[in-house]
Amino acid sequence: MRHRARPNSVARAGHYARAAALVIILLASLVARPAGAQRAARPTAREVLRRLGLPDTARLVILHADDAAISPGTDRVTIAALRARQISSSSIIATTPYLDAFVAALPKDTTFDLGVHLTITSETDAMRWAPVAPRGRVGSLLDDAGLLRLGGTDEARPAEIERELDAQLARVRATGVRLSHLDSHQGALLYHGAERFAALRRVAKRACLPIPIPETFLRKFPYLAEALDDGQLPLADLMSIDPSVAPADWEAYYIGLFEGMRPGVTLLLVHLDEDTPEERHLFRDHREYDAAWRARDAALVRSGALREMARWHGIQVITWAEFARAASMCPAGR
């Protein structure tokens, strides 16, 4: 006579079988899951404050001068502002003919907070720049004259972008300048697609240097957040004056920027120059960001007004190097 299992035995057997199947499915999913999929929660701008030992309501700002080495006038004003601590940071373009002169003019007895303004585009027809890497190895970045294209191009290959960025970083490092960060000229590496940004991300990761990742930009450019998995940290925001602002409203506009700063670290970009015939000639192709526009920024910086605005609003001025202390991008001691 065939033995018949009791109903409760059948129920228990079914329960065990289903439990075993769930365990197998779970284990299989863990094995199949790509490396890094179980990442820790990405840091926020308020988490940066916690790591810096500050309350989560604190507001900090990096007063940053873009475009060092773009022209002789910019270099003079930028170095003067760095020496007077009217700005807290600047970044250097490696593709221009003024790089060596800028570095030579830096006071040798003082260390400044400097980065590389990584560049894959020429500025204007009047400011055409050659790549630092051999032309034959970065051809997709170049026009028929062998110069970096105006406005860049969708044809630029990520591997060649990365090669050029590495060459620019090496060129600036060879001058002896100690670097605190990397950023992107004309936003060409940040706001023009995930592939370009991935090239910047890889270079920054190898160099153990921070790059700008503003939290306020993540909705529009969600791929920027991927760099947070490398140990990069988010800025609260990135701000600069709108080119449409009338000269008479310059100071009021900046006051509004300071009033609107969020908790965390904000990167405030300024562009410095002299409004001289030489500089007007160099920037003659700019309809908005010309020498006069840059000279208005320089006048406000030179007066100390930006630091005063920060003080009035209870905002602490810091450097990129101080911001990077909260990061964990690199092995200890590197």
Q: Give the percent of the chain with pLDDT over 70.
A: 86
What is the reported pLDDT for 13? 41
Is the CA virtual torsion 152, 200, 209, 304 positive or negative? Answer: positive
**pLDDT category of residue 21 using cuts at 50, 70 and 90:** very low
CA-wise closest residue to 83 among 111, 103, 58, 102: 111
CATH number at residue 257: 3.20.20.370
SS3 of 305, please? helix
Answer yes or no: is 293 within a domain: yes
Answer yes or no: is 133 within a domain: no
Answer yes or no: is 114 within a domain: yes
Answer yes or no: is 298 within a domain: yes
User: Count H helices, E strands: the chain?
Assistant: 11, 7
Answer yes or no: is 142 within a domain: no
Residues 6+ apart with CB under 8 A from 6: none
Residue 146 to residue 206: CA distance in whole angstroms: 28
pLDDT at 11 over 50: no
**Average pLDDT value for the chain:** 88
Q: How many other β-carbons are positioned within 10 Å of the β-carbon of residue 175? A: 14
Structural domain that includes position 291 = 44-127+174-188+207-324
Residue 197 to residue 251: CA distance in whole angstroms: 33
Written as six digits, the tokens of 200 are: 């910047």
DSSP 8-state secondary structure symbol assigned to residue 167: H
Answer yes or no: is 139 within a domain: no
pLDDT by residue (tens digit) across 267-299? 999 999 999 999 999 999 988 899 999 999 999
Mean pLDDT, range 13-17, rounded to an integer: 44
pTM beyond 0.95: no
Top pLDDT among 330 and 32 is at 330
Mean pLDDT, range 238-262, rounded to an integer: 95
324 within 8 A of 181, measured Cβ to Cβ: yes
Answer yes or no: is 251 within a domain: yes
User: What is the number of domains present in the chain?
Assistant: 1
Answer yes or no: is 105 within a domain: yes
What is the reported pLDDT for 212? 96
What is the reported pLDDT for 253? 97
CA-wise closest residue to 93 among 84, 85, 81, 101: 101
